[in-house]
Amino acid sequence: MIKFPKDFLWGAATSAPQTEGAALADGKSPSTWDKWFEMEPELFFDQVGPNDTSNVYYQYKEDVALMKKMDMNSYRTSIAWTRLLPDGKTLNPKAVEFYRNYFQEMLDNGVEPIINLFHFDMPWWLMEKGGWEARESVDHFAFYAKTAFEQFGDLIKTWATFNEPLVHIECGYMGDAHWPKVRDFKRAIQVGYHTMLAHAKAVEAYRTNPHNDGKIGIILNLSPVYAKSEEPADQEARHKADLIYIRSFVDTVALGYFPEELIEMLRESDLLPTTIAGDRAIFENNIVDYVGVNYYQPLRVQAPENPVFPAQSPGAWARGYNWPEKRINPHRGWEIFPEGIYTIAMRMKNDYGNMPWFISENGMGVEGEEQFMDENGIIQDDYRIEFLEEHLEYLAKAIEEGSNCFGYHMWTFSDCWSWLNAYKNRYGYYRINRDDNYRRSDKASSYWMKNVINQHGFT
């Protein structure tokens, strides 16, 4: 029997921009996603944009009823900054009403809402001032965070500041999957610095108000790094990639500052961000109560071939490696490596003082999932059940060995909109039938997970 603690949090995760729809309704202002879709709809899969997601703004009660049906006890989504404070300053009463009703509905049905503040959805008005590159974004975010705590702090006892800061840094400033799609390592590092400072300032805002009596943390995508070989050069690449992709985030939020070795690497390539005296104390004084870990697949690296310095990208220190033995999700192309969840779990225990943490995302995206629908309209997603079994088995092992993990949230609950991929890959326990008024229908995994929740494990 694979066993989990009785008080374990079982749930699912999503975000405001990927589910709410109503992109400009009731006073909401545009985010970068809304504007980008308006400008270049052809870049979005099937030309489906952020206004056309799973319609949760109008259908949240249906989702909450399904959470209850599954006996889930927790759920993570986010608040849209652009809905709560459309111009960054003025509170939108319609947004307060919507979120209070939504969160109350969850609480009334035995589901604890875990609420995140930023899930890639930069307000357009702030993007026009430079987005995360501009120092002023830090204080705007802290004001937004403070406002959210004031408006919803009586209902929400577990907060997160950011989801996967690495992603908006990397995809927006080292690639073209997020706005503003520029490629500039130095700018990316400044964006990263301001993001992490904004995180620490939001934690500070939470802690300075004595009415705030819950927990605050951050959600990080942590891909354990594995080297091609035991050769020193490959091991060095692994060490450097780990500093960049894992420790630059976890050390900063859990130990109080960026690793010295990373700072030195950046200094040598003239990549250090602009900082202000006093910043460091903000980081040091505001370490998190917990970390949410999103785990999908590992990162495999080898020594770079002809490293160019000063570094123009992380590739100067580590190069990707295509492990020939890797198991690929046939429905999407990502590696499936359940052991990775154990590696990360033990890392949280051994390197971060057994910090409380939970799996805040893990899941399997499947293209063309309608082909698995049976005659009763249920998607027979055996592949997802197998994925869950394998990952949960490794998670249970880590918990048994003392890792302080308090929950597991699958990505996602009902299928949601995935940025440029729109509805290409489906991840949910429930299917969204977009051509039938966003009707929700069952997948077999929801029944399987309900049993796991009720038995605190599986055989």
The CB-of-298 to ligand BGP minimum distance in angstroms stands at 15
Strands 457-458 and 439-442: unpaired
The CB-of-70 to ligand BGP minimum distance in angstroms stands at 20
Which x/- pattern, by CB under 6 A, does the window 387-426 give for ligand BGP?
------------------------x------xx-x---x-
Determine the interface stretch with ligand BGP among 43-51, 105-113, 159-167, 379-387 (rule: CB under 6 A). 159-167
Residues annotated as part of the active site: 164, 361
Residue pair 163/116 in contact (Cβ under 8 Å)? The answer is yes
Joined together, the tokens standing for residue 124 give: 């357009």
The CB-of-160 to ligand BGP minimum distance in angstroms stands at 11
Q: How many residues does the chain have?
A: 459
Residue pair 431/369 in contact (Cβ under 8 Å)? The answer is yes
Q: Determine which residue in the list 167, 220, 316, 432 makes contact with ligand BGP, applying CB under 6 A.
A: 167
The CB-of-229 to ligand BGP minimum distance in angstroms stands at 29
Query: Contact between 15 and ligand BGP (CB under 6 A)?
Result: yes
Nearest to 142 by CA among 156, 127, 162: 162
CA distance 198 to 122: 13
Burial class (CB in 10 A: 0-12, 13-18, 19+), 383: middle
Q: Which is nearer to ligand BGP, 104 or 297 (CB)?
A: 297
* End-to-end Cα separation, the chain, in angstroms: 4
Q: Which is nearer to ligand BGP, 4 or 427 (CB)?
A: 427
Tell me how many residues contact ligand BGP (CB under 6 A).
14
Place of tokens 């001032």: 129
CA distance 94 to 126: 21
Residue nearest to ligand BGP (CB): 418
- Extract long-range pairs of 179-183: CB within 8 Å, 24+ residues apart: 179/32, 179/33, 179/35, 179/36, 179/122, 179/127, 180/32, 180/127, 180/131
Query: Contact between 78 and ligand BGP (CB under 6 A)?
Result: no
Which x/- pattern, by CB under 6 A, does the window 86-105 give for ligand BGP?
--------------------
Q: Which is nearer to ligand BGP, 15 or 32 (CB)?
A: 15
The CB-of-304 to ligand BGP minimum distance in angstroms stands at 25
Alpha-helical (H) ranges within 178-287 are 185-208, 232-242, 248-250, 260-268, 279-284
The CB-of-414 to ligand BGP minimum distance in angstroms stands at 14
Q: Which is nearer to ligand BGP, 68 or 424 (CB)?
A: 424
CA distance 447 to 177: 35
Q: How many CA atoms lie within 13 A of 280 on its CB side?
A: 7
Residue pair 144/90 in contact (Cβ under 8 Å)? The answer is no
Query: Contact between 297 and ligand BGP (CB under 6 A)?
Result: no
The CB-of-68 to ligand BGP minimum distance in angstroms stands at 24
Which x/- pattern, by CB under 6 A, does the window 212-241 give for ligand BGP?
---------x--------------------
Query: Contact between 163 and ligand BGP (CB under 6 A)?
Result: yes
Which x/- pattern, by CB under 6 A, does the window 339-368 give for ligand BGP?
----------------------x---x---
Sign, CA dihedral 268-269-274-280, equals: negative
Binding residues (CB under 6 A) for ligand BGP: these are 15, 18, 163-164, 167, 221, 294, 361, 365, 411, 418-419, 421, 425
